[in-house]
Amino acid sequence: MALDPSDPASLELSAAEMRAMCEAATARVLAHLANVERQPASGDVDVEALCRAMREPAPEQGRALEPLLDAFFDEWMPRSLTTNGPGYLAYVPGGGVFPAAIADFVADTTNRFTGARFAAPALVQLEANALDWLRAWMQLPAGARGIFTTGGSAATFNAVVCARERHLGAEIRRGVVYTSSQAHHSVFKSARLAGIAADRVRAIDVDESFRMRLDALESAIERDRRDGLSPFLVVSTAGTTNTGAVDPLDEIADLSAREGLWHHVDGAYGAFFHACEELRPLLRGLPRADSITLDPHKGLFLPYGTGALLVRDGAALRRAHDATAAYMPEPSPDDLYDPSRDGPDLSRGFPGFRVWLTIQTFGAARLRAAIAEKRALAIHAANALAASPHVVIDAPPQLSLFAFHVTWPGATQREEDAATRALIDRVAERGRVLLSGCTTGDRFLARVCVLSFRTRRAHVDACIEDVTAEAAHLAQL
């Protein structure tokens, strides 16, 4: 950058300089994306020495952009999981659709204040529209409200606060939260952050399909009531991280209604499957939830940084967050969305715009087709692997995730666990796909989650080939 030396306090760049910066970044981004198919599914992330060597004080003088970008693309980024690549089948994949990046660029350079409606009402309305589209896909009523968050964890935290505010007040210490033993750890973390101590969170047992057991839930509630405690919240999961299990949402909604509990559904992985009408039966009861966590940066293929919370009783969301001050203008009319009244942030980025621009440019139909395709691909992979004599599918795909282990005649469970761990490593070494594992109950399982928009039939076929071959190899050792 050629900043003017005679004006040392200026941070303003010329149009030519900005264009050059854009071109430098664009060239590298496009080269990276053109090559993303051929990147190994995981770079070498065992680089503690490199990280220590990277420590440095802030530079006193500005440096040129291009060498910094080169270091990002050539040295640092490759030492990571290739989370935007087609072979990323580990954990719950994210996305990285391009229109969202353009939205961020436009939002960041125009830097309008969208934390409160008054400062950019029409822009805030774009975010309101995006939230309303999500609400409609989840079939929540028109009175529901929502917020965009930094992720699913933050959304669940806000949901716990809403439930706590409605049900507990000063009686916080008596409040009890119920979730399943398969729940995401963000549920336990959210409860703690919301002031609900660990001894007031129950991890309910699951059935053989890894779904929350209703009888166990019911008796835990009964026991807590007998002990003078105040059950107030059930957090069920629409697609667990371990095995993709969908809790019996409809039955839990019944029970919650009967018991007067708030029912939150953690749909960080699975909720967007409800956007596809033909898949709604898989998530039966979801629209009855009091609140839903969604993760546009998973199921809507956005880049990391955007979760969402929808709350059926919009007034409850607002009650939990609304606050004012003398320096703030008059609140908006109630029918108009005003972000800081419904969420914890005031100043923030403009998450609604990246969601809005993504949906506008692709259209809902194309996004739904992509979501449905991921499920079809997972079913294809699970069926193909089930045909291998060395693979046992422990959890068939309920949505687009399945879990399995390696087996052979006479194998003990310990040997199977070790072989399954080895399989994940050996498949990763082949460089085409990356799986991850989990321990559920007492068994170690490998898991495949198809959710990256770049994962298509050819990549899933590569996964089938590599897993089949490595399972056969491990079974013969």
Q: Which residues bind ligand PLP (CB under 6 A)?
A: 92, 151-153, 184, 186, 237, 239-241, 266, 268-269, 295, 307
Tokens coding 116: 């409160």
Question: Whose Cβ is closer to ligand PLP: residue 207's or residue 461's?
Answer: 207
Question: Whose Cβ is closer to ligand PLP: residue 82's or residue 407's?
Answer: 82
Instruction: Compute the least distance from the CB of residue 92 to ligand PLP, in Å.
Output: 4
Tokens coding 113: 């204040």
Instruction: Compute the least distance from the CB of residue 304 to ligand PLP, in Å.
Output: 8
Listing DSSP states for 337-349 in one string gives: --HHHHSS-SS--
Instruction: Compute the least distance from the CB of residue 329 to ligand PLP, in Å.
Output: 32
Listing DSSP states for 233-275 in one string gives: EEEEEBS-TTT--B--HHHHHHHHHHHT-EEEEEETTTGGGGG
Nearest residue to ligand PLP by CB is: 152
Question: Whose Cβ is closer to ligand PLP: residue 240's or residue 358's?
Answer: 240
Task: Give, as one character, the DSSP assignment of residue 45.
Answer: -
DSSP run (H or E) holding 437: strand 436-440
Question: Whose Cβ is closer to ligand PLP: residue 407's or residue 452's?
Answer: 452
Instruction: Compute the least distance from the CB of residue 267 to ligand PLP, in Å.
Output: 8
Query: 113 with 347: CB under 8 angstroms?
Result: yes
Listing DSSP states for 370-395 in one string gives: HHHHHHHHHHHHHHHHHTSTTEEEEE
Tokens coding 129: 């529209």
Instruction: Compute the least distance from the CB of residue 343 to ligand PLP, in Å.
Output: 15
Strands across the sheet with 436-440, in order? 391-395, 401-406, 443-449, 436-440
Question: Whose Cβ is closer to ligand PLP: residue 175's or residue 267's?
Answer: 267
Tell me, rounded to whole angstroms, the distance of Cα 239 from its chain centroid. 11
Position 298, amino acid? K
Question: Whose Cβ is closer to ligand PLP: residue 237's or residue 455's?
Answer: 237
176 torsion bin: left (phi>0), alpha (psi -120 to 50), beta (else): beta
Instruction: Compute the least distance from the CB of residue 143 to ligand PLP, in Å.
Output: 26
Instruction: Compute the least distance from the CB of residue 154 to ligand PLP, in Å.
Output: 6
